[in-house]
Structure 1
Amino acid sequence: MPTGPKRPKYGVGYFDVAFHGATIEESSGGVHHVRLNAFARQNTAERPYAVVNDYIASKLGTAAGVPVPPGNLIGLHGGGFGYVAMAFGERGDTAPPVIPPIFCVERPWEACGIIAFDQWVANTDRHNRNLAYVADVGVAAFDHDLALINHYHPSGDAKAALASGLDVECKGHCLPPHVVDVSHFPEWFERIASVTRREIKQIVDTCHSARLVDAPLRDALVDFIEHRQTRIRTYVDRTYAEYSKVENWTLDTEEVDRDS
């Protein structure tokens, strides 16, 4: 029986691609029909803005050059939208969890970028199960459902939740305790700051067009993202005490106390 070409261990790049069927029908230009392994997210009663958070944060990460898996909104059977992202890891099944001490030494540039990005989008849930790393293959930061609209507010109002987290730094991130070199941060501050207002508005407006947010919340999200965009250095400085392995701290914007 004829078969397609042998699949690379980690797919094409670092995302799993399975050729459709046992044989390949090649059309003009070498285009093939393929299946892509992916993960889909839907909103839940506990996380009513999970899709919005994941979509917007992931698109912002891509715009800034953060290693975020490609993804997009998808229409759901019965109406509404979910968020789907390509799977990372061996055969796309289970992403290999990152080992922070190894990752921060071998990939210090990406480590600083992911921290800066998470501070930008106020991601309160970065841990070794939503950050994957395969040596000599790539890095993937995913699962951003607890970014952006992530602060509980008694009124249940999303705009009030954004306001309550507007200038709050993210603590307890899995990477800072293992970072040894902070010299890559300034480049990431600049990269994130280079994402234009037009790009931000287009990303957020997609959620408004899909009726996932109303106009007031759309505008509040744009303001929230822009407000934090140029304050990432301050947020990193505020978590100075978590960088216990950094001997030469070069990012001070204000006096900080490791013991505070």
Structure 2
Amino acid sequence: MAPGAQERKYGVGYFDVAHHGARIETSSGGVGYLRLNAYARKNTPERPFGVANDFVASSLGVAAGLPIAPGALIGVYGGGYNYASLAFGDRGDKPPPIIPPRFCAERPWEACGIIAFDQWIYNTDRHDENIGHLPGVSVGLFDHDLSLMNHAQSPEDALSLLAECQDRASKSHCLPAHLTDVSHFGEWFERISAVTRREIRRVTATAYSAELITADVRDALTAFIEHRQTRVSSFIEQTREQYKSVSSWTLDLKEVDGGS
């Protein structure tokens, strides 16, 4: 590189596609093959529903407009599916952990959306290392394997957990204590409520078709998601004591119906 020249960066949004293994193979008509960095989640003995949780939750977040890394179920050699999502970061490098007070001050709109979304999907594992933030660029969310059916070890466990937790607020979150502005919650309640029942059922049906869940778990999971969709503001009110930095509580607690 010539002295004083600036390194050219190729990127699409916040997913950089230059360097570190990414390659574009050109072809005619403006369409070519693009190799990108991605992460693939597989089920483990400790988290047998990890793929289903991540796929379903991430798909719902995308539908609601959350800044979630695009992903898809990927068939693997020998059978079964992994959940693969694009690697968020600059040139494939994972961003460092966020600093929650700074993040909430600089990105209050996204912070409210993340909190509302995590209440919807009953995410018990939101921390500073699964929120990506490139200052001046964008935000990315990932790792939703401990939402929805969480640590369930069997279909029976999943059914029990979904029944027990349908009205339970998630109290494990890194952002509420540092949020000072709750005025953006209303928009996120509307966004979440606008995700239609058809879309919810499409996603859970896909997980069933991929044999990630049984038919009875599919039906219970669908009901769980639809039920919590109408109670997000209530869950936030139940955890109001966590919002220690909010001086004016302006949250509109009017419940909303899910999409048709």
TM surpasses 0.5 = yes
* Partner SS state of residue 12, structure 2: coil
Q: How does 1:21-60 map to 2 (within 5 A)?
A: 26-60=26-60
Q: How does 1:157-168 map to 2 (within 5 A)?
A: 157-168=157-168
Paired residues, what number? 248
Note the C-alpha offset of 1:158.
Answer: 1.2
Aligned mates of 1:227, 1:246 — CA distance in 2: 28
Q: Structure 1 residues 24 and 80, CA, compared in 2 at 3 Å: closer, same or farther?
A: closer
* Partner SS state of residue 168, structure 2: coil
Q: How does 1:1-260 map to 2 (within 5 A)?
A: 8=9, 11-18=11-18, 26-150=26-150, 157-251=157-251, 253=253
- In the alignment, structure 2 segments of 5+ residues that lack a partner are 1-6, 255-260
The answer for the alignment partner of 1:257 in structure 2 is none
Q: Which amino acid aligns with 1:251?
A: L
Deviations 1:218-258 (A, max 9, x none): 1111000000001000000011011001000122649xxxx
Aligned mates of 1:66, 1:140 — CA distance in 2: 8
Aligned mates of 1:70, 1:158 — CA distance in 2: 26
Question: Structure 2-normalised TM-score?
Answer: 0.89
Share of identical aligned residues, percent?
59
Q: Structure 1 residues 206 and 153, CA, compared in 2 at 3 Å: closer, same or farther?
A: closer
* Partner SS state of residue 118, structure 2: helix
* Partner SS state of residue 92, structure 1: coil
The answer (yes or no) to whether the contact 1:20–1:34 under 8 Å persists in 2 is: no
RMSD: 2.3
The answer (yes or no) to whether the contact 1:104–1:111 under 8 Å persists in 2 is: yes
The answer for the alignment partner of 2:3 in structure 1 is none
Q: Which amino acid aligns with 1:199?
A: E
The answer (yes or no) to whether the contact 1:7–1:18 under 8 Å persists in 2 is: no
Aligned mates of 1:217, 1:156 — CA distance in 2: 8
Aligned mates of 1:17, 1:134 — CA distance in 2: 15
Deviations 1:71-98 (A, max 9, x none): 0100111110110000011211323321
